Structures are given as structure tokens and as C-alpha cells.
Amino acid sequence: MKNMAKITCCSLILALFCYSAHIPASVYTGIAFTRVNEPKEAAFSILVPKGWLIEGGIFRVNPLQAGGPLNSMEAKCDLTIKIDNKGTVAFRIYPDIVYAHVGIGGGFFPPGSHYQGAEVRPFMNPSEFLKALFKTHHPTASSIKILEIKRLPGEKKAIDQGISYMNRLFSQIGMPWLAFKSDAAGAVIEYKEKGITYREVIATGIINMRSAMTWKNTRTISFRAPANSFEKWKPVMDIIRFSIQFNPKWIIKEMKGQQERARIAMKVYNKMRQIDREIASKTRINREEIMNDDFLVLTGQEEYIDPHTGKVEMDTDAFKFRWKTPQGDLYYTNKEDENPNIFLHETNYKRTKIRRRRNE
């Protein structure tokens, strides 16, 4: 009887297995996820819906090709997970990009130009950056509606934790005003693209690094789906987003690499700051000298160096050459070879030179 019971039980299990194996796929209403490594450097693993496509990943900026080190310090990630080739439903992680504040380099680098590997761009708060980012990545979008846009205090708090080390250093050296500042925002946008009405959630943080005359976006992500099924797909975004698990070995390697790159970049940066100061100083001097020369031309004067005292003095510019004695006697002439000491029987006349301009 016991053996008969075992056979009956095994037969039942086998029958159930065979039956479930033939259930049509349409009966299943759930969604399966597969944990995969970031494709380029295995920096982290992430849950991806089974059968979805994954593109991009970690990349690095070559400072020699970029024209400087400002975007070469840390690894960047541009990763897209999508249901099909055109990204009808898609989740994206955007790279952190460093921008240079307008005015960097003594003002010689206008908006749109590049300074040490960073685009010179007016500072944007998170809401402004989100709008600009959306426009850049959806150039053909139409019927655009911003359904909601608001600050994200939780994201800001997370970013502040990341920059707290640098801010403590600024406080310790007595320069708290140099502290990095952050903010974060998110937006919900509806738009039409290639005949489909989409809804997209996009969020970003901004870190303002005024002490370095730079700023950057960080923790920038987006998720989109057709508007009529967005709520259905939203939990998928949350699962993907919160499933990221960083590879400890990669983090240790990256931190060591960043330290070395930081050491090299600091040397470059210090040189950049020196050049900036020289440029700014020369700019100010140029402006002052130009204004001074304009004044002298308008008043018919010139600045001379007293050959006996070394002091600067103003006098008429009506003559090309000017001679002076220690007692203050003067002789003016337009002839270069005319020496008053000869025919005035003096020995103390010395020719005064025009003051050399500081920007020469």
C-alpha cells in the first residue's frame, strides 16, 4: 500500500508538471526580471525585464581628446534599458557632465566654447536643466505638456551626503563659503513622438562647485512609456531603479584610479588657476591702460619717467623729445639728435622716456 501511495503521488506531481508546461503564455500576467552586469566594466548589476534590450554603460573621457581634465576625473554612465529598438518603454541613466561657469578663464571663454574639457554654460537650476535635457534628447517632440515639475528634497539630501566630505574640508580650512551646493528636481512630461503620445518622468540633481568655477548634473534618470499604459509600467521603473547593486571590486579600483587622476588633474588645475589669474590681471591692466591712453590723447598729454627720480609725470605731447635737469629745467624738441647740454653749456640734462605701458 505504501509503495502504491508513492507511485500515485509521483504520478500526480508528474501530471501537474506536464500540465503546467503546456499552459499558454497568455495565462501568465507577471513580468520576469534577469539580473545582469553593466556591460562595459561590470561596475554594477541591475534587474532587467526578461527579453528587454540593454545599451551603453560605463565610459570614460580622454582628457587629451576632450581638451582638458574637467570631465575625465570619474567614470561616466550612459545606460538604456528598453522594451524594443525604438524605446517604446525605456529606462535611462544619464552621465554626470561637468560644465564651466561663464566667466571662467578671465572671461575669455564665451558660452558654448570649451574650457579644459568642459562646455562653458550658464548655470542652471535642476528645473531649467531638465527642460534643456528633454529638448536635447527629444528634438522632434510635439504637443509638449509639463504636467508637473517640483523640487526633490530626498534626492538633494542624498547628494549632500556625497559632497559632505569636501564641504567639511572647506570648513576646516576656514573657507566655508567655498562649499559645494546642491539641489534636485523631477518632472512629468507628456509629448508626441512619431505618432505616439508618451509620458516621461525625468529627474536630476545639480551640484554647484563655485570654488572651481564649475557645475554639473548628477543622478539623472528618466523613464517613459505610452501615456495610456504609463501607470502599468511605472512599477517596472521602480524595480529597475532600486535594483542597482554596485560591484565592490570595481568601486575600490575606481576610487584608486580617481585618486591618481585627481593628483594629475590638481597639478593641471593649479596651472589653470595661475593662467586664469594672469589672464584676469592682464585683462584689468589692458582696460586700465586703454582708458588712461584715451584720457591722455583727449587732453594732449603724455606720461614720462623723470630720469632723475624715476617718478611718473604728465606733460604735453606736442614735442617728440623732452629733456630735464634735477632742478626741473626742461627742454623740448622734435629733433632726436639735439642735445641741450651742448649748446646750453649744461651737464645735467637727461632725456625723459615715455612710460612703458604695463600691457606691453
Residue 164 has what pLDDT?
86
Q: Could you tell me which residues are beta bridge partners of residue 204?
A: 185
Residue limits of CATH 3.40.1000.10 in the chain:
26-252
Cell match 629733433: residue? 335
Structure-block grid coordinates of residue 29: 500576467
Residue 52 has what pLDDT?
96
Residue 14 has what pLDDT?
37
**pTM as predicted:** 0.67
Residues in the chain, pLDDT under 70: 1-29, 173, 175, 258-284, 287, 289-296, 298-299, 360
User: Mind giving me the DSSP string for 44-97?
Assistant: EEEEEETT-EEEEEEE---HHHHTSSTTTSS-EEEEEEESSTT-SSEEEEPPP-
Residue 19 has what pLDDT?
35
In 3D space, the residue among 257, 55, 251, 216 whose CA is nearest the CA of residue 126 turns out to be 216
Domain covering 26-252, topology? Protein Transport Mog1p; Chain A (3.40.1000)
Residue 266 has what pLDDT?
60
Residue 35 has what pLDDT?
94
